[in-house]
Amino acid sequence: MTITETAVRPPDALPDESRWRSYKALYVQTGKTSIANNFQYRASNYFYMIGMVVEPVIYLVVWSTIARSHGGSVEGYTPGTFAAYYIVWTLVRNMNIVFTPFGWEWRVKEGQLSGQLLRPVHPIHYDLADFAGMKFVVIVLWLPIAAVLIVAFRPSLSPTVAQSIVFFFAIWGAYLIRSMLLWVLGMVTFWTTRVGALYQAYFMAEMLLSGRLVPMTLMPQWAQDVAWFLPFRWTFGFPITALVGPILTRDLYIGLAMQALWIAIGAGLVAIVWRRGVRRFSAVGG
């Protein structure tokens, strides 16, 4: 039909900022919003964190007992270094909390993904910024827990300046690697709807080959060799060892390089799977 209305052209959108300024604003504002949101739930966050401490404390007590029964150390780890390892573990574990495949299931099932697809930015930026903001709350809440653990278990911890700097970058590197990989895993939801079983398999591999259960140097050599080529140790064991040691300066930088490599691999996988997944989602409906 012929359209004869008085308005002759649609209105322009509001002028936008440069691409980089937009991303900066997105990360800053989403981070701020996340901090505000997480402080709203500070009590439940705190109980969640306290619950999370139980796992490393069990490992710590078991390994300290074994160390004492072996004349004071196991493969160079004394009760003090075990204490340092598992107390730093608690911080690294919190840095490793990212948007999970269960979140993806909810996002697709509840139609939340549609809202995100309508935004003019890739949704991963929102998730990265959201969970990064959460880390600031987590660190504030973690400090008193760490203080109690330090008093209770007396860790041996004396990192160099280089170790401390590398640790700072390594925990954020670990955060990015885990975010990307679990995003890729979560996107399987586009094809299967339920992705929980796959996540459990990932979780088991991570548990054994990351340094979460036990420091990697206590694992058999073949397991250490396999783990070197997988992403898990770079998200858990490496950041902890970077601060606690023992570690050569050269290995600190190799570790950071490996993290950079896995971030690049993760970003590439996110781009590929996202493109295909959205095509699939758009074909079957959301």
Interacting residue with other proteins among 51, 54, 71, 118 (CB under 8 A): 118
Closest CA to 65 of 157, 158, 153, 156: 153
Q: At what angle do helices 79-95 and 161-186 cross, to 10 degrees?
A: 50
Rounded to whole angstroms, the Cα distance separating 211 from 77 reads: 14
- 36 versus 261: smaller Cβ distance to other proteins: 36
- 23 versus 59: smaller Cβ distance to other proteins: 23
Token output for 101: 């495949």
DSSP type of residue 77: B
Q: Is 142 in the site for other proteins (CB under 8 A)?
A: no
Chain residues 83-112 in contact with other proteins, contact rule CB under 8 A: 111
Q: Report yes or no: 242 and 160 within 8 Å, Cβ to Cβ.
A: no
Q: Is 4 in the site for other proteins (CB under 8 A)?
A: yes
Rounded to whole angstroms, the Cα distance separating 137 from 139 reads: 6
Q: What are phi and psi of 98, to 5 degrees?
A: -135, 180
Rounded to whole angstroms, the Cα distance separating 38 from 33 reads: 9
Q: Is 249 in the site for other proteins (CB under 8 A)?
A: no
- 30 versus 179: smaller Cβ distance to other proteins: 30
Stretch that binds other proteins, among 8-16, 144-152, 196-204, 207-215 (CB under 8 A): 8-16
Q: Is 220 in the site for other proteins (CB under 8 A)?
A: no
Rounded to whole angstroms, the Cα distance separating 257 from 206 reads: 20
Q: Is 68 in the site for other proteins (CB under 8 A)?
A: no
Residue with token string 């008193």: 144
Q: Is 43 in the site for other proteins (CB under 8 A)?
A: no
- 214 versus 270: smaller Cβ distance to other proteins: 270
Q: Is 22 in the site for other proteins (CB under 8 A)?
A: yes
Q: Is 21 in the site for other proteins (CB under 8 A)?
A: yes
Interacting residue with other proteins among 57, 91, 92, 119 (CB under 8 A): 119
- 249 versus 282: smaller Cβ distance to other proteins: 282
- 29 versus 65: smaller Cβ distance to other proteins: 29
Q: Is 6 in the site for other proteins (CB under 8 A)?
A: yes
Instruction: Name, in order, each residue with C-beta under 8 angstroms of 234's C-beta and a sequence gap of 6 or more.
Output: 173, 174, 177, 255, 258, 259, 262
- 42 versus 154: smaller Cβ distance to other proteins: 42
Closest CA to 76 of 245, 227, 210: 245
Q: Report yes or no: 100 and 203 within 8 Å, Cβ to Cβ.
A: no
Interacting residue with other proteins among 26, 52, 205, 208 (CB under 8 A): 26
Distances 211 to 46, 129, 156 between C-alpha atoms, Å: 25, 26, 18
Smallest distance, Å, CB 65 to other proteins?
44
Query: Which residues of the chain form contacts with other proteins (CB under 8 A)?
Result: 1-17, 19, 21-22, 25-26, 28-30, 33, 36-37, 40-41, 111, 114-115, 117-121, 126, 279, 282-286
